[in-house]
Chain A
Amino acid sequence: AQSVTQLDSHVSVSEGTPVLLRCNYSSSYSPSLFWYVQHPNKGLQLLLKYTSAATLVKGINGFEAEFKKSETSFHLTKPSAHMSDAAEYFCVVSEHPIIQGAQKLVFGQGTRLTINP
């Protein structure tokens, strides 16, 4: 079974400084990986996705993530944090290769990002 571990439950950075949210996964094959963001009282929004193409994935709002198979990691980064980035972030892995059709997703426990002025 696939699994996801988000290494930090809470990350706090100052506005304008870099953001790093860490994610490790476990999979018996080349997985599809996602990062979602959930703002307070809002739904889930897809930030970016990795599906066996380029290992460096660029997403919305200046976020990007790098798939490192040797480290089984998919960390999310942003060069400069903005106050609007404060939210809950979820690293997600698909249970089976997406190319086999729609598959259920396995969510990490989430990382709460706080931005200090």
Chain B
Amino acid sequence: SAVISQKPSRDICQRGTSLTIQCQVDSQVTMMFWYRQQPGQSLTLIATANQGSEATYESGFVIDKFPISRPNLTFSTLTVSNMSPEDSSIYLCSTDRTGAPYGYTFGSGTRLTVV
């Protein structure tokens, strides 16, 4: 299975600022996914990032708030912009690259607290 390095693992940020989260995969992958896990909740998909094209956002998420970059097949970033306390969540990246047959690997997550 692919290994994903995600950083930072946690951060405490002031409201109104922005935080960029990075995910590095140890092999080339087609798609990367970004999820949000609000406190005590399940995971919700934010967007899908395909290399060479703009990310596809899910309902309720917009590019101005969560800009995503995908410069190559092993790397992606998610920025949480103009943060408010409601953005306090765990953010996780994921990819489809696996060993046979199928499965998805997740980064260890970024625990964000906005104060």
- Interface residue ranges, A against B (CB under 8 Å): 32, 34, 36, 41-44, 46, 49, 51, 53, 90, 98, 101-105, 107-110
Contact = CB atoms under 8 A, between A and B. Distances in A.
Nearest to B31: A102
Contacts of B41: 109-110
Nearest to A32: B102
Nearest to B97: A102
Contact of A34 (B44, B103, B108, B111): B103
B42 A90 contact: yes
B115 interface: no
A81 to B, nearest CB: 23
11 contacts: A43-B108, A44-B92, A44-B109, A46-B104, A49-B102, A51-B102, A90-B42, A102-B31, A104-B33, A104-B48, A107-B44
Contacts of B109: 43-44
Binding site of A, secondary structure by majority: helix, strand, loop or mixed? loop
A61 B29 CA distance: 28
B42 A102 contact: no
Nearest to A41: B111
Contacts of A49: 101-103
Interface in B90-115: 92, 94-96, 101-109, 111
Contact of A53 (B30, B101, B104): B101
Interface residues of B, number: 25
A110 B92 contact: no
A35 B98 CA distance: 15
B43 interface: yes
B73 interface: no
Nearest to A104: B45
Given A53-B101, A104-B48, 5 more contacts: A43-B108, A43-B109, A46-B1, A102-B30, A105-B43
A46 B96 contact: no
A60 B44 CA distance: 25
Contact of A42 (B33, B45, B105, B108): B108
B92 A43 contact: yes
Nearest to B108: A43
Contact of B30 (A34, A41, A101, A107): A101
